[in-house]
Amino acid sequence: MKTKVIIQGSSNSKGNTYKVVNYLNNDNKFDIIDLKVKNIGAFEYDFSNAQDDFLPLMEEIIEKYDTFIFATPVYWYSMSGTMKHFFDRLSDLLHYKKELGRQLRGKKMAMISNSGENDRKDGFSMPFIQSANYLGMEYLGDTHAWFSDNEIDNEAKNKIDEFRKLI
Ligand SMILES: Cc1cc2nc3c(=O)[nH]c(=O)nc-3n(C[C@H](O)[C@H](O)[C@H](O)COP(=O)(O)O)c2cc1C
């Protein structure tokens, strides 16, 4: 049974993030969850989305995995909206599912981003690092992938190879 999961958050299930996720998972060490195919609504103060796919997903990943690797494209200098919804919904766990939220403590987090160029801006990883800190998770690190002729750039592949060893 795998103990590490890649959580893919792109608007395109089979786009560049998917290519990066597949390269990272070349030895099939990780399970993969595609947030795009889940019905996860925005955070609402009245928790009106409590019946969507978020809570069952959290129950599953908290039970099965000790390491979460977030894979996101760069959209407008930030994580994708799909991924941001997921992070916003972690707030549900701080309100009516506190016991579940506490079980994140001690788990590990890492992040891999991608865009067309090797020009990710400083600060991109900050929300991941700070969220891990806040939730009592250990942040293992992150890397960025980019593309040449629609394929992952060779230098970026080397970086992913190093990142794979970290996680
Ligand atoms: C809505 C949107 C916003 C984007 N914003 C940026 C950006 O701010 N910086 C950047 O370098 N690339 C940006 N891109 C390009 C994507 O980061 C890049 O094409 C990425 O590899 C797409 O991954 P995907 O196929 O999984 O969506 C943007 C693309 C989209 C669709």
Q: What is the mean pLDDT of residues 16-22?
A: 98
> Given pLDDT bands bounded at 50, 70 and 90, which one contains residue 89?
very high
Residue nearest to atom 20 of ligand 1 (CA): 115
What single-letter DSSP state applies at residue 36? G
Q: What is the mean pLDDT of residues 145-151?
A: 97
Are the beta carbons of 152 and 145 closer than 8 angstroms?
A: yes
Q: Tell me which CATH homologous superfamily contains domain 4-166.
A: Flavodoxin domain (3.40.50.360)
Q: Which residues are CB-neighbours of 98 under 8 A, at least 6 positions away?
A: none
pLDDT (0 to 100) of residue 61: 98
Question: For residue range 95-132, what is the model confidence (pLDDT) as tens digits?
Answer: 999 999 999 999 999 999 999 999 999 999 999 999 99
pLDDT (0 to 100) of residue 78: 98
Atom of ligand 1 nearest to the CA of 76: 8
C-alpha 135 to ligand 1 mean position (Å) = 28
Atom of ligand 1 nearest to the CA of 18: 26
Q: Which residues are CB-neighbours of 56 under 8 A, at least 6 positions away?
A: none
pLDDT (0 to 100) of residue 118: 97
Locate the domains of the chain by residue range. 4-166
Mean pLDDT in the chain?
98
